[in-house]
Amino acid sequence: MIAAILFTVSVAVFSQFALYYWRAVISGVAAQPVSDRIRLAAGISAAAIDARDFHSILRLKDLSPDLEGADGNFAALRSYYAIVEKVGSLIPALANWSNSEMTTCARYIAVLMDRHMERNMACAAEMRGI
């Protein structure tokens, strides 16, 4: 019985650590600058990317070819975004936190799409050189 309790507590603590680590990685990537070509390609007219731009950037990802690099569908991030969005709408006291988390998700995908487009452009330039 004690072993089961220790195992359950260990799994819970490890899961909490994994979630915090995942959020720290996302925040670190989202803090990097995003080029204007991503905003233009996604049809974002505002100077900064915010939570409302998440789906626009995902549509851009769906439209861009995968010439090089891993093909990710961001399933975990989409789920996290949906959960945080629902929590923010259900609990008004958490609306500001929810909006900041959704903005971080949108910026994270924008940075990854910027890298993706850069790799595709480099691959296209290499192909022209052949």
Can you give the pTM of this predicted structure? 0.83
Mean pLDDT across the chain, nearest whole number? 88
pLDDT at 48: 85
Which of 6-15, 85-94, 113-122 is the least confident region?
Answer: 113-122
pLDDT of residue 9: 96
* CA nearest neighbour of 51 among 88, 23, 21, 76: 88
More confident residue, 85 or 125: 85
Helix, strand or coil, per DSSP, at residue 129: helix
28-45: average pLDDT? 89
**Which structural domain range is residue 51 located in?**
2-129
For the chain, what is the domain count? 1
Residue positions counted in the chain: 130
Q: What is residue 125's predicted lDDT score, i.e. its pLDDT?
A: 86
61: burial class by Cβ within 10 Å (0-12, 13-18, 19+)? Answer: buried
pLDDT in tens, 37-94: 888 888 888 888 888 899 988 888 878 766 555 556 788 899 999 999 999 999 999 9
